[in-house]
Structure 1
């Protein structure tokens, strides 16, 4: 008999997820089952799954890296761990839209309280802090790293290859600057862009266009489309939005602002840079919506 599991469908600016409660870690979802759940014709349909599991249960995880991340979450006092999987079933380090949906699920089901103090959530990219914000929820993604060497990106509709800036915000990204909105619209992201050299873990690829003017009343503004690793083009990518803002800020130089508004096909997200205990962190804010709940039989 197929196993029946409960789920909730949620999204953050159109970046959608199947949320699966598994507090004690009794489910064993393989890559094919995740892919079927995320299939938009034969399953529920989503860009990925978010398994809601206690960090202590995740310490029995499938690989040493995950077990170490779960152990660090337990040590930091993060009761819950976001086990994020891409639509193809592959495991990913972090998801900026997903963690807001995850926090919304915990709050709405009474599993955690977000209002009184920051909520700590374990991920494969470390423990993240989520708070309420004017846009919905804000997640502290932590520090970031800009790689020294550009990556050449080829994409359908782009004409000629373009250099991309490699930025790691807990997961890898390549950000490509385009000259105008027409170039952004002409992109065909039904096919995966090619990168040279190919990053060892793959990467999400963001294509960005600055607004004119770039900065208004101290806030930078850009538009973006994204091809997500293990998914394809999505309406939004939270960590990609942060990476895109960081890349444009890097290119703009020292006078660039620390607050950004980023427009994606699914809506608008906010990004800001803030010093936390001496280190410069990047924070992502935006809405998180739970759409419906149900039960599904696992293939």
Structure 2
């Protein structure tokens, strides 16, 4: 039996089991991760995050080559045990975990570089909790048709790459958004090679208030099912609505998800436009697990 000491954390209801493995000696198998994430027989979570020093992982070596200060790597797996490139809510919770367990320090105004499979991401404290620079984004994946259970017709989505793949779909109103049954995997045609997170979004009325765009979103996450929030998905949804709204649309957005509210901000950099995500990150409890 293997024993791990874990912490349960959440960011706007997107929840994770985190554990420390600085030297990279205790990776979990996909079946162990799925067992932990099972909401009936396990701890219950949308994914598992392992804290590993970047120097002890091949992907971490790539992160260190990008930024030598990226000491820690967020080794993230979905609830089904499949590895994921990035998680916008997860990285905020991960930084909270590093700070609370004494594995890292982050003074006000400073930035902590974190290695991920999508590259290095910089995290800062802010008034809502933490803000992460999600890096450059790209229109990718075209405009596939998306079908979801209890939505009457297929509709076009917009493919957006946030370091992980997304397809954003506009729905008519709140009633249609609420009716979608996201316990079933939405059907994307043509199907992305590696799957995608699918966001269903509706604008508030008015769309823009006090210079801030406002939308409401639900999401089906690849490998996890419907979750109460998705950080990169919120960013993708805001980017899609801004794209559809045209050049007069704002660069700051409030995205309401079932688990709360996150902020999204687009800003220019030397290597292109970046997207920042801000929101809360909380640690809920700690425990010990015995795994076969």
Task: Compute the TM-score of the two structures, normalised by the length of structure 1.
Answer: 0.95
Q: What is the SS of the residue equivalent to 1:292?
A: strand
Deviation at 1:252, TM superposition (A): 0.7
Residues 1:105 and 2:105 are matched in the alignment: no
Match of 1:118 in 2: 111
Given the superposition, is the C-alpha separation of residues 160 and 30 from structure 1 closer, same or farther in structure 2, using an over 3 Å criterion?
A: same
Given the superposition, is the C-alpha separation of residues 184 and 200 from structure 1 closer, same or farther in structure 2, using an over 3 Å criterion?
A: same
Residues 40-92 of structure 1 deviation map (CA, whole Å, 9 limit, x = unaligned): 11111100001000000113xxxxxx36634535x432000000000000000
Residues 1:264 and 2:285 are matched in the alignment: no
Q: C-alpha separation between the residues in 2 aligned to 1:101 and 1:95?
A: 10
Q: What is the SS of the residue equivalent to 1:93?
A: coil
Q: C-alpha separation between the residues in 1 aligned to 2:216 and 2:234?
A: 9
Q: C-alpha separation between the residues in 1 aligned to 2:184 and 2:172?
A: 21
Residues 1:84 and 2:76 are matched in the alignment: yes
Contact 1:38 1:47 in 2 (8 A): yes
Q: What is the SS of the residue equivalent to 2:40?
A: coil
Deviation at 1:280, TM superposition (A): 1.1
Say which is worse superposed, 145-154 or 156-165, in terms of deviation: 145-154
1:280 counterpart (270, 273, 278):
273
Task: Compute the TM-score of the two structures, normalised by the length of structure 2.
Answer: 0.97
Contact 2:55 2:61 in 1 (8 A): no
Residues 1:37 and 2:36 are matched in the alignment: yes
Deviation at 1:276, TM superposition (A): 2.6
User: What's the RMSD between the two structures over aligned residues?
Assistant: 1.2
Contact 1:269 1:284 in 2 (8 A): yes
Structure 1 residues 191-270: aligned runs within 5 Å: 191-270=184-263
